Amino acid sequence: MLELTLITGRTRQQGLGLEEGRFEQAYREEVCRVELSPQDLARLGVDEGDAVLLQTEHGSMSGTAWKNDGLPEGLVFVPFGPPVNSLVGGDTHGVGMPEFKGITVKVTRQ
Amino acid sequence: MIFDDVVCTFCGCLCDDLQATVEEDKITNLAHACVLGKGYIMAAQRQSEKPRLKGKDVSLDVALDAAAAILHRSLHPLIYGLSSTTCEAQAKAVELAELLGASIDSTASVCHSPSDLARQLSGLSSCSLGEVKNRADLVIYWGCNPAETHLRHATRYALMPHGMFVPRGRQDRRVIVVDVRRTQTAKMADLFIPVQPGYDFECLQVMRALLHGEAPEQEIIGGVELETLKTLLQEMKSCRYGVIFFGIGLTMSSGDYNNVVAAIELVRQLNAYTRFAIMPMRGHGNVAGAEQTLSRLTGFPFAVNFSRGYPRYGPGEFTAVDLLVREEVDAALVIASDPLAHLPFEAAKWLQQVPLVVLDVHENYTSRQAEVFIPVAPCGVAAEGTAYRMDNIPLRLKKIIPSLNQADEELLASLKERIRCLK
């Protein structure tokens, strides 16, 4: 298990999936894509395509691990979508905006 | 038939140079669009056809009557979405909110609402995308990734175009990316500066201090060497025309509007040395229009409540996530949005507990939970109207194919009349 920092965001495939069909396989796969640095993949002992479990104090999601060479060690990226919303809290600190980035997350090999 | 200068409403770029070929009421070719815009417009042709009440197909009249009854019964309705429809429809939604005493909020509250708060605190030294195209010799993307989200931003407006004062296009521009990860956009840049997650504020404030001749004791700020920040600042001071495009990397991180205030203030102070501007990278096609429309009609850009008969502004109070987490909503009208797919689960779960009315082009996660679903004509494809680009330039959307469905604007007007009759 690793404790990492989660950021969520948009991707080209996620944007395309929203329009081409959010119930289609391509969209569902994209929003379960868990991108990790090569170092964190090695530390977790997982290969690309392996299932991983993400847990925060708000909830959990299962996803598929992918290598992203652009991510620094300690950072994990998941595209916007229903699965990752379970990891995000509803507290907006009085401004209306939840913290979709910078969330502490436990990542485990499944 | 060929339609020129068609506006794509997928993202805030609102590219208005598309060419659509229409044969037998179908778009058979779409030139100049990016893959996201093309996907959006071609998919918009596959419109849902039947209104639905509790899972069963019904006539439009029956669906509108049921929607009116739900909203009329509600004591604390929420009207939410708005960012992918026209300003004319947004104005109808505001009228409806006033009639119902509802809260009204757009998807801006979960993307760039901190930018609005920052702008209200500090103002905004901004510009048009035309100015960027013709003048900018330094372009900084901070916390945004247009190579994945705004695919023609670089080629149409910011990096590649040959402008009046940057005649060689990309060769005349310096491009810098500041982000927590090396994105596809970073690969297009001359310089990439990686910053530690949650430390944009510190970096921006140190740059402001450096501008005032102060220097911090630390050699590393938020993972960035002080010398790198000094070099970046020097580049910003010495360019002829600079611009920062910032994204949700600033607004969705810890510090939210404070990050944006720091960026705005830095840009404002840079104008003592050169011309510098800053602009939020708006996501949805008409999210800027939602803020324009709400501001024009209520005085506030988002998070507006009419329960006292007049508009009150309450970020953190009348924003959709807060209302839903506190379970203060007893019915919702969702227009051109899919909050069940995009709000935190803690907020989305309450939305599934209340009667829902959804107006959208397609079925989505929210419409599948709706008591009433009414399919609409897609704006900019089968419905005309107005949309605002990310630089707040209004553009006219065309109707290029017919639709069996009515536009949001017409449907909201019908809904309002039915509710008025019930009162």
Q: Pick from B221, B247, B280: which residue ends a domain?
A: B280
Judge if B176 and B210 occupy the same domain: yes
The CA distance from B164 to B173, in Å, is 13
Cβ–Cβ below 8 Å for A97 and B186: no
**By the 8 A CB rule, do B376 and B407 touch?**
yes
Q: CA dist B244 to B175, B263, B299, Å?
A: 10, 8, 27
Q: Is the pLDDT of residue B209 over 90?
A: yes
- The alpha carbon of B346 is separated from its chain's Cα centroid by a whole number of angstroms, namely 23
Residues in chain B closer than 8 A to A7 (CB atoms): 180-181, 197
If pLDDT is split at 50, 70 and 90, which confidence band does B49 have?
confident
Tell me the ipTM for this assembly. Answer: 0.95
Number of domains observed in the structure of chain B: 2
The DSSP bridge pattern shows strands B275-280 and B241-246 to be parallel
Q: Quick one: closest CA in B to A22, which residue?
A: B364
Judge if B293 and B262 occupy the same domain: no
Q: pLDDT tens digit string along B371-423?
A: 999 999 999 999 999 999 999 999 999 999 999 999 999 999 999 999 999 98
Q: Pick from B253, B280, B307: which residue ends a domain?
A: B280
**By the 8 A CB rule, do B243 and B139 touch?**
yes
From the number of C-beta atoms within 10 Å of its C-beta (0-12, 13-18, 19+), residue B123 rates as: exposed
**By the 8 A CB rule, do B357 and B332 touch?**
yes
Q: pLDDT tens digit string along B214-241?
A: 989 999 999 999 999 999 999 999 999 9
The DSSP 8-state label assigned to residue B379 in this structure reads B
Report the residue from A80, A81, A96 with minimal CB separation from B316: A96
Residues in chain B closer than 8 A to A69 (CB atoms): 182
- Residue A18 is predicted with a pLDDT of 80
Q: What is the CATH number of the domain that holds A97?
A: 2.40.40.20
Q: What is the CATH number of the domain that holds B191?
A: 3.40.228.10
Judge if B257 and B128 occupy the same domain: yes
Q: What is the CATH number of the domain that holds B389?
A: 3.40.50.740
The DSSP 8-state label assigned to residue B171 in this structure reads G
**Whether B84 contacts chain A with CB within 8 A:** no
**By the 8 A CB rule, do B278 and B115 touch?**
no
Query: What is the token pair recorded at B250?
Result: 């600033």
Judge if B321 and B386 occupy the same domain: yes
Residues in chain A closer than 8 A to B186 (CB atoms): 70
Q: Pick from B222, B252, B280: which residue ends a domain?
A: B280
Judge if B135 and B66 occupy the same domain: no
Q: What pTM was computed for the model?
A: 0.96
- Length of chain A in residues, anyone? 110
Judge if B171 and B302 occupy the same domain: no
Q: Transcribe B180-229 into DSSP letters.
A: SS--TTGGG-SEEEE--TT-HHHHHHHHHHHHTT---S-SEETTEEHHHH
Residues in chain A closer than 8 A to B341 (CB atoms): 22, 81-82, 85
- Length of chain B in residues, anyone? 423
**By the 8 A CB rule, do B94 and B80 touch?**
no
Number of domains observed in the structure of chain A: 1
- Residue A17 is predicted with a pLDDT of 84
Rg (CA), chain A: 13
Judge if B233 and B289 occupy the same domain: no
Judge if B213 and B333 occupy the same domain: no
Judge if B341 and B325 occupy the same domain: yes
Range of the domain at B238: 113-280
Q: Is the pLDDT of residue B150 over 80?
A: yes
Range of the domain at A97: 2-109
